[in-house]
């Protein structure tokens, strides 16, 4: 089932969940070169991650160039994972990141999902504004990383 298309503006930016608009080259360049969590991620892996994320969102400037991105992986019922959130440096600090996060976590298809999760090194303050809080009991959580 494709996600419900949602579009809104934030100042002069257009926010859109239309995956056809995404600049996958830009997303790959940012994630693999600039991000602290996906350094070196290959283009094919970025493409696959976008393809299999139920919900994606981009922000676009007046020229239509993509300046921000986020995606959400979900079963549409019990669980959702928000990840790969970024705003290009020149466009940060004007509320665009907040608008991006608000739009994706409150998207009508996922707003009633049992629980939404994310991981962040230092941007907790951004997500707290939209109802995220630290895990109640991290000792209940496990992970299974791929062997190196």
Ligand X SMILES: CC(C)(COP(=O)(O)OP(=O)(O)OC[C@H]1O[C@@H](n2cnc3c(N)ncnc32)[C@H](O)[C@@H]1OP(=O)(O)O)[C@@H](O)C(=O)NCCC(=O)NCCS
What burial letters (b/e) apply to 65-89, b meaning 16+ CB within 10 Å? ebbbbbbbbbeeeeebebbbbbbbe
Q: Which residue has the tokens 């090194």?
A: 121
Task: Name the closest residue to ligand X (Cβ).
Answer: 97
Residue 100 near residue 68 (C-beta atoms within 8 A): yes
The answer to whether 34 touches 41, Cβ cutoff 8 Å, is: no
Output 54 or 86, the one with its CB closest to ligand X.
86
Instruction: Determine the Cα–Cα distance for residues 57 and 24; give it in Å rounded to an integer.
Output: 12
* Binders in 122-141 for ligand X, by CB under 6 A: 122-123, 125-126
* Contacts of residue 53, Cβ cutoff 8 Å, sequence gap at least 6: 71, 72, 73
**Residue among 77 and 123 whose Cβ is closer to ligand X:** 123
Binding mask 15-54 for ligand X (x = CB under 6 A): ----------------------------------------
Number of residues near ligand X (by CB under 6 A): 15
Site membership for ligand X, residue 87 (CB under 6 A): yes
Among 6, 14, 73, 120, binds ligand X (CB under 6 A): 120
Contact set with ligand X (CB under 6 A): 85-87, 92-98, 120, 122-123, 125-126
């Amino acid at each position: 089932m494709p996600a419900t298309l949602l579009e809104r503006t934030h100042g002069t930016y257009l926010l859109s969940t239309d995956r056809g608009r995404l600049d996958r080259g830009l997303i790959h360049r940012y994630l693999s070169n600039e991000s602290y969590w996906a350094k070196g991620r290959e283009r094919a892996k970025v493409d696959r991650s976008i393809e299999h994320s139920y919900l994606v969102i981009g922000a676009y400037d007046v020229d239509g160039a993509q300046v921000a991105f986020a995606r959400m992986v979900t079963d549409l019922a019990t669980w959702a994972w928000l990840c790969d959130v970024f705003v290009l440096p020149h466009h940060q600090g004007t509320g665009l990141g907040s608008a991006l996060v608000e739009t994706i976590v409150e998207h009508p298809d996922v707003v009633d999902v049992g629980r939404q999760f994310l991981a962040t090194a230092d941007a907790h303050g951004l997500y707290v504004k939209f109802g995220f809080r630290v895990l109640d009991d991290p000792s209940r959580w496990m992970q299974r990383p791929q062997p190196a």
